[in-house]
Amino acid sequence: MRRLLGGEELAWLVDRVRRRLERGEPASGSATLAGANPEQRRAVERLLGRRARSGGSLTVSLDELDQVLRRSGAAPDGLAGAVQLLVGEIVDRSERAVAEARQWALALTPLDELTARRPELREWREWLDSTGLLRRCAADATVAQKLCGDLARVVDRLPAVDLALGRLAADATGDAHALDDGRPLATLALSAARVLAGSAPAGSGSVWEKRVAWSAVGVHRDELSSTVLILGLPGGPDSTAGRILALARAAGDPVVLTLRQIDRVEPDAFGVRQALVRICENPIVVASAADRWGPDCPPLICLSGHPSTAARNLLAMLSGVGVEFAYHGDFDWGGIRIANALAQHIDWQPWRFTTADYLNALPRVDGGTLSGRPGEAVWDSELAGALRRHGVRVEEELVLDELIGDLAPRLDTRQPTEVSDG
């Protein structure tokens, strides 16, 4: 067989047949070599026992060659058998592709079942397919099968309520570190968390962005990384958190409390009851208020984006002792999502955060094109329509003077007229 087909002059022909067999095609029809040299022509002539046609190209009938090999007894299985004998086992790639597709479909079954039960995840599921992220995270279908099972169990627990990331990982997968940064499961689950929070599935991937994404679905990375920024809460002498707040207020400085510190005290540790506490979205408001009013600034809490578990727990504790809240955020789609999320945990009234306030702020805005996924504002039915019409975002920095003016020290911090001039 090597004397018949194994020479260098017929290597092109053997290779053509091999590739056909790999594609699941029969070794029949013809094969043509453009620009054949005299040695290649003579090799074909010897093989078939006749002169090849003249011309620039050389065409070989594979059916005729198959019959020649069978009649000679050199290859009882014909041309296909002869080529396999020369090159070794040939894998039918079409059959392998079908088998691989079947394995991947089986691996994806947990996600398909999850999406069928929870249609709000359909966009995320389609995004996984369109980006190929899942296939990049899994080496093969076997790896993907376990990964998809774990992923479906994690995502099905979202959104959660004050759940530690490690506990979520342990409960869903049996591995408390399965959702650690850099693990494939964490990358995939984070994309689902973003969608459930109303954002795009892809994020910046920064530490801050990941914390916000998890927090938006009720998951905190641990009791120390979940924090909240505070200015002006009186605090008290009976707990570590209370003493920290009291010292910070006396100095007129903002302070950060962790989830650990908040969860270890009673509501009285914060030093307020039946008062008005303002909430903002961005730290610049807190910094400016501290610079302007110092120790006399009334209580102000900053969410720094989506409310963290620490922020939600603090606000819930304050709400339980009669505190009322007024909230201001960015006039954009992200700001609306954050405010809507906050409204799921506490009642609040808008602080310069109505349609009228948005329209009043527009003349001072230069640029600031609105982007992102639209959504309705649960506290103001006309606000989303105004954002759509004007297509301009108004960030807190642009109305900072008014917000800081509202924080001017007063004897009665519960006056509702302070909440909004809109």
Q: pLDDT band at residue 28, thresholds of 50, 70 and 90?
A: confident
Residue 92 has what pLDDT?
65
Task: State mean pLDDT over 248-275.
Answer: 91
CA pair distance 269, 278, nearest whole angstrom: 18
User: In 3D, which of 253, 259, 235 has the Cα closest to residue 294?
Assistant: 253
pLDDT of 76:
83
The pLDDT of residue 354 is above 70: yes
Q: What is the mean pLDDT of the chain?
A: 87
Q: What is the pLDDT of residue 95?
A: 63
Domain boundaries, the chain: 2-91, 95-220, 227-418
Instruction: Specify the pTM.
Output: 0.58
Residue 422: per-residue pLDDT: 40
- Each residue of 318-344: pLDDT tens digit? 999 999 999 999 999 999 999 998 998
Distance CA 323, CA 301 (A): 13
Nearest C-alpha neighbor of 94 from the set 31, 21, 30, 28: 21
Report the pLDDT value the prediction gives residue 94, as an integer from 0 to 100.
65
Residue 165: enclosing H or E segment and its boundaries?
helix 165-173
Task: Say if residues 278 and 301 touch (Cβ distance below 8 Å).
Answer: yes
Diameter of the chain measured on Cα atoms: 112
Q: Give 292's DSSP letter.
A: H
Topology of the domain covering 227-418 = Dna Topoisomerase Vi A Subunit; Chain: A, domain 2 (3.40.1360)
Angle value at C-alpha 18, between 12 and 22, nearest 5 degrees: 145
pLDDT number for residue 344: 87
* DSSP state string for 93-148: HHHHHHHHHHHHHHHTHHHHHHHHH-GGGHHHHHHHHHHTHHHHH-SSHHHHHHHH
DSSP string over 297-366: PPPEEE-SSSPPHHHHHHHHHHHHTT-EEEEE--BSHHHHHHHHHHHTTS--EESS-SHHHHHHHGGG--
Q: Does position 101 have pLDDT exceeding 50, yes or no?
A: yes
Q: Which pLDDT score, from 0 to 100, does residue 417 have?
A: 34
Residue indicated by tokens 């959104």 = 159
Q: How many CA atoms lie less than 13 Å away from 384 in the CB half-sphere?
A: 16
- Answer whether residue 406 shows pLDDT above 50: yes
pLDDT in tens, 264-303: 888 889 999 889 999 999 999 999 999 999 999 999 999 9
Query: What span, in angstroms and rounded, lies between the C-alpha atoms of 241 and 227?
Result: 13
Q: For the residues 189-206, what does the mean pLDDT come to? A: 88
Look up residue 82 and give its two tokens: 């002869």
Residue 421: predicted pLDDT: 41
The answer, yes or no, to whether residue 357 has pLDDT greater than 50, is yes
CB 161 within 8 A of CB 219: no
Residue closest to 278 by CA, chosen among 95, 412, 407, 89: 407
- Asked if the model's pLDDT at residue 367 lies above 70, the reply is no
When pLDDT is averaged across residues 239-257 and rounded to a whole number, the result is: 94
Residue pair 65/44 in contact by the 8 Å Cβ criterion: no
Do the strands 276-280 and 300-302 form a parallel or antiparallel pair, or are they unpaired?
A: parallel
Query: What is the arithmetic mean of pLDDT over 358-370?
Result: 85
The 10 Å Cβ neighbour count of residue 117 is 9
Q: Which of 235-239, 321-325, 370-374 has the lowest mean pLDDT?
A: 370-374
pLDDT band at 198 (very low <50, low <70, confident <90, very high): confident
Averaged pLDDT for residues 217-223: 80
Q: Which two tokens stand for residue 55?
A: 């011309």
Q: What is the mean pLDDT of residues 307-313?
A: 87
Tokens in use for 35? Answer: 């620009």
Top-confidence residue, 406 or 344: 406
